Amino acid sequence: MLLTVRMDAELHRAFMDAAHALDRPASQVARDLVRSFVQRQSRTAEFEEAMRRHEARLAQDVPQGTEEDYQAFLAEKVRLGREDIAAGRTVSHEQVVAEGEARRAALLKRLGKR
């Protein structure tokens, strides 16, 4: 495939000098730039889709209705939380932090950041 790119002479000269400094053909540098751009756009699209799904899930959790409905919703959440504490179904702060760090590392690895 042939890709024609128009650019001013100064930018062209700077690009060619930079490619030469890397001891690589300009065509290879251009391919790398295009590949990097496509990957970045793909990750951005994946992230935006994940955020849309997350926001949709959050919207489902928001109670709709009157102030009375909202207060009942909060009271039920508190009741359930207290039941969990009484039954020993809790997670330590350290465990939450460790799990968060592990999830972050896995995500960065999947995105090619580490």
Quickly state the pLDDT bin for 21 (edges 50, 70, 90). Answer: very high
- Residue 15 CB neighbours (<10 A): 16
pTM of the predicted structure, to 2 decimals: 0.45
The pair of structure tokens assigned to 79 is: 């009741």
- What would the CATH number be for the domain defined by 1-62? 1.10.1220
Each domain of the chain, given as residue ranges in start order, spans: 1-62, 66-114
pLDDT of amino acid 63? 60
Quickly state the pLDDT bin for 95 (edges 50, 70, 90). Answer: very high
The pair of structure tokens assigned to 68 is: 């009375």
Compute the distance between CA of residue 98 and CA of residue 93 in angstroms, rounded to an integer.
Answer: 9
Percentage of the chain exceeding pLDDT 70: 95
Compute the distance between CA of residue 51 and CA of residue 58 in angstroms, rounded to an integer.
Answer: 10
